[in-house]
A and B are shown apart, each in its own frame.
Chain A
């Protein structure tokens, strides 16, 4: 709609778009502006544009919040959990989409249940506790890895577009199953992998609930947990908090700028096929 030359309607659209741009950009802009002020400047003129350009806030926040240690953890968690989740989901989705094993339909529904099941927060905690994995990096990664229902769902749909004849040709040529998956299916499914991978990365990087529950030693903190604790300790210094916030958000924003298409594709496809 909107292809006709209805001028009032077009103006209405522009106004609304700009109002919403303001609602979405102003908070980010305000935080960015605050992060570049000195504490004194912020107390005296909280809303004025920064004139002090105190980039030093970033260095101070980095050191005080101990982000240097946490960012390594976050990268580790994100990398391991994303790769593991993708692999596990892929190895499940592929045979299901091909019905290579009995009860494929049942399995499919079983994994879809994951979308609706209660989180099981408490038994998971008890289990991790009793396995001796509490407050360990391994325990946290085990909890954060997941055969994500959305991924299974998304991959199953995607694999249907890969011709079955390919499987047959490969198996006739004597290509092993795993080799086939790694050398043929994964390259073919690359866009789907990237989409789901990015969604999973964002989820793990941003996790705050599980890290609050499972990571209690500073040595194991991820960066969002670090940010949360930091804001608690320095809530009187908004300039530092704002700088800390941007340090945590920076990798996300960069990922987003470069991978926007994949991320949005993943979300769109997930929603449509539902």
Chain B
């Protein structure tokens, strides 16, 4: 490489010139050039939404891979086209892990008409402004990239109180298609009957059930799609919700501000439960991919399986003969109101319309279409994992109806309330992460993990202070 020296010199020069330009560029801000597709109604410019032969414009719906939802949406395409001959429906599916990224890129490209979100949680507000970044959904809304749906006619079909739980600044930017319970465990009814077990109502009963299955030895006790990491974090949150319900909101705030510590007894209780929970997970669980897991439970030799209620259709698909139920993970103490353990929910599939959608009218027509009571009811029955956000919908799905006793006083899942401060270290950003625990092959005990989380939170707070001063 005899030219190396020359090349290096030139590179240095280029970098220095660039840095100088940047520094002398002044501090005047700028408005970035408007996105392509500002004149988005011109179909020729956007390749995503062409017209078909009959001149109907396609409504591009973007959602994550969930077999039941995607299949249903595809199945109503014809009916939608019949009802609204000007439009056709086109469903775009991406893996759940990539949905945030793809929403962002497709909105950038202005070639999508409906995007799918879940709960709009953890907005940046005055009290936490210094410690957290704006979540992506809030950036979209603040930049005016999502259409305000509050006054649209189709919203009137829904229970407004429920929908407004997912509003931002009292305006609705997404239309929720159903809430979902996900702090529970699937259990195999045949195994429970064989071993004479009943659904546990307290944490101690839950541990007793685990011990009984373990002692019997024929079946694996508990599993999850742990290789993807989040299915386990979901159960750290389930433990939080099971014990503290909506009080987690306060806990999350106090943890962020430093008023409360992970080593405080309230939170240590969560860590200890996690440690116990982890010890019953089947060997090799950290290698089981989430997409694999429902099928493994469906095979019938596993007593309990940790997942959200949305997986019920997947389990049935893998083995239509299996009999299973779902119960909320109980808290350590019984509920003060005397109810059985209740579910923690989130707003699942929620449709939003980008304001630069090339076919905005079509998008609104589609939302109108799917909000009709009969279509919506059919949707819920078919998807069989969501609870209704419209009033007076009767479901024929036994599994969904079996959840009703746990939905008398649902709380919002702890996931919506627990923050990680900016710049927090790995034990804090993966807070309540099972995978560090010794009982799952990690390096730490519950107490050590809580200690590390506190240290990381403190370090992050100090760094923020020093940076702001």
A touches B (Cβ under 8 A)? yes
The 8 closest A-B pairs by CB, nearest first: A132-B36, A232-B95, A135-B109, A236-B292, A216-B105, A236-B291, A134-B109, A130-B33
For window 115-142 of A, CB contacts with B under 8 Å fall at 115-117, 129-137
In the bound complex, what is the Cα–Cα distance between A220 and B109 (angstroms)?
Answer: 13
For A224-257 the 0/1 string (1 means CB < 8 A from B) is 0000010011111000000000000000000000
In the bound complex, what is the Cα–Cα distance between A100 and B109 (angstroms)?
Answer: 43
Asked whether, in the complex, the Cβ of B36 is within 8 Å of the Cβ of A233, the reply is no
Given contacts A113-B7, A134-B105, contact A219 B292 (CB under 8 A): no
Asked whether, in the complex, the Cβ of A132 is within 8 Å of the Cβ of B45, the reply is yes
In the bound complex, what is the Cα–Cα distance between A133 and B37 (angstroms)?
Answer: 10
Given contacts A132-B36, A134-B109, contact A232 B98 (CB under 8 A): yes
CB distance from B110 to the nearest CB of A (A): 9
B10 on interface, CB distance cutoff 8 Å: yes
CB distance from B66 to the nearest CB of A (A): 11
Q: Looking across the interface, which residue of chain B has its beta carbon closest to that of A233? A: B65
Report chain A residues within 8 Å CB of B425. Answer: none
CB distance from A274 to the nearest CB of B (A): 5
A168 on interface, CB distance cutoff 8 Å: no
Partner of B94, one of A113, A132, A229, A274: A229
Report chain B residues within 8 Å CB of A134. Answer: 36, 105, 108-109
B47 on interface, CB distance cutoff 8 Å: yes
For window 23-48 of B, CB contacts with A under 8 Å fall at 32-33, 35-37, 45, 47-48
In the bound complex, what is the Cα–Cα distance between A235 and B293 (angstroms)?
Answer: 11
Asked whether, in the complex, the Cβ of B92 is within 8 Å of the Cβ of A109, the reply is no
Given contacts A219-B47, A229-B95, contact A236 B36 (CB under 8 A): no
Asked whether, in the complex, the Cβ of B295 is within 8 Å of the Cβ of A236, the reply is yes
Partner of A216, one of B1, B36, B95, B109: B109
B3 on interface, CB distance cutoff 8 Å: yes
Report chain A residues within 8 Å CB of B289. Answer: 235-236
Report chain A residues within 8 Å CB of B47. Answer: 135-137, 217, 219-220
Residues of A within 8 A of B (CB): 109-110, 112-113, 115-117, 129-137, 213, 216-220, 229, 232-236, 274
Report chain B residues within 8 Å CB of A136. Answer: 47
Report chain B residues within 8 Å CB of A232. Answer: 65, 95, 97-98
Report chain B residues within 8 Å CB of A129. Answer: 35-36, 108
In the bound complex, what is the Cα–Cα distance between A233 and B8 (angstroms)?
Answer: 45
For window 65-115 of B, CB contacts with A under 8 Å fall at 65, 92-95, 97-98, 102, 105-106, 108-109, 111
Residues of B within 8 A of A (CB): 1, 3, 6-8, 10-11, 32-33, 35-37, 45, 47-48, 65, 92-95, 97-98, 102, 105-106, 108-109, 111, 289, 291-292, 295
CB distance from B95 to the nearest CB of A (A): 4
Given contacts A134-B109, A135-B105, A219-B47, contact A112 B295 (CB under 8 A): no
Q: Which interface residue of B3, B7, B10, B109 has the most chain A CB atoms within 10 A?
A: B109
14 contacts between A and B (CB under 8 A): A109-B6, A113-B10, A130-B32, A130-B33, A134-B108, A217-B48, A217-B111, A229-B98, A232-B65, A232-B97, A232-B98, A233-B65, A233-B95, A235-B292
Report chain B residues within 8 Å CB of A233. Answer: 65, 93, 95, 291
CB distance from B1 to the nearest CB of A (A): 5
Q: Looking across the interface, which residue of chain A has its beta carbon closest to that of B50? A: A219
In the bound complex, what is the Cα–Cα distance between A116 and B289 (angstroms)?
Answer: 39
Other A-B pairs, 19, CB within 8 Å; known A115-B7, A116-B11: A109-B6, A130-B32, A130-B33, A132-B36, A132-B37, A133-B36, A134-B105, A135-B47, A135-B105, A135-B111, A216-B105, A216-B106, A232-B97, A232-B98, A233-B65, A233-B93, A233-B95, A235-B291, A274-B1
Report chain B residues within 8 Å CB of A274. Answer: 1
In the bound complex, what is the Cα–Cα distance between A117 and B8 (angstroms)?
Answer: 10
In the bound complex, what is the Cα–Cα distance between A216 and B98 (angstroms)?
Answer: 11
Q: Looking across the interface, which residue of chain B has its beta carbon closest to that of A218? A: B92
Report chain A residues within 8 Å CB of B97. Answer: 232
Q: Looking across the interface, which residue of chain A has its beta carbon closest to that of B299? A: A43
In the bound complex, what is the Cα–Cα distance between A178 and B289 (angstroms)?
Answer: 57
CB distance from B59 to the nearest CB of A (A): 14
Report chain A residues within 8 Å CB of B36. Answer: 129-134
Report chain A residues within 8 Å CB of B106. Answer: 135, 216-217
In the bound complex, what is the Cα–Cα distance between A129 and B10 (angstroms)?
Answer: 29
Q: Looking across the interface, which residue of chain B has its beta carbon closest to that of A217? A: B48
CB distance from B226 to the nearest CB of A (A): 14
Report chain B residues within 8 Å CB of A110. Answer: 10
In the bound complex, what is the Cα–Cα distance between A220 and B48 (angstroms)?
Answer: 9
Report chain B residues within 8 Å CB of A216. Answer: 102, 105-106, 109
In the bound complex, what is the Cα–Cα distance between A218 and B95 (angstroms)?
Answer: 12
CB distance from B234 to the nearest CB of A (A): 19
Asked whether, in the complex, the Cβ of B65 is within 8 Å of the Cβ of A116, the reply is no
Q: Looking across the interface, which residue of chain B has its beta carbon closest to that of A137? A: B47
Report chain B residues within 8 Å CB of A218. Answer: 92
Asked whether, in the complex, the Cβ of B108 is within 8 Å of the Cβ of A112, the reply is no
Report chain B residues within 8 Å CB of A229. Answer: 94-95, 98
In the bound complex, what is the Cα–Cα distance between A232 and B66 (angstroms)?
Answer: 12
Q: Looking across the interface, which residue of chain A has its beta carbon closest to that of B15? A: A118
CB distance from B223 to the nearest CB of A (A): 14
In the bound complex, what is the Cα–Cα distance between A216 and B92 (angstroms)?
Answer: 10
CB distance from A26 to the nearest CB of B (A): 20
In the bound complex, what is the Cα–Cα distance between A132 and B47 (angstroms)?
Answer: 11
In the bound complex, what is the Cα–Cα distance between A136 and B37 (angstroms)?
Answer: 13
Report chain B residues within 8 Å CB of A135. Answer: 47-48, 105-106, 109, 111
Report chain B residues within 8 Å CB of A113. Answer: 7, 10-11
Asked whether, in the complex, the Cβ of B7 is within 8 Å of the Cβ of A112, the reply is yes
Q: Looking across the interface, which residue of chain B has its beta carbon closest to that of A138? A: B47
In the bound complex, what is the Cα–Cα distance between A110 and B32 (angstroms)?
Answer: 30
CB distance from A216 to the nearest CB of B (A): 5
Report chain B residues within 8 Å CB of A213. Answer: 105
In the bound complex, what is the Cα–Cα distance between A217 and B6 (angstroms)?
Answer: 43
Partner of B7, one of A116, A132, A236: A116
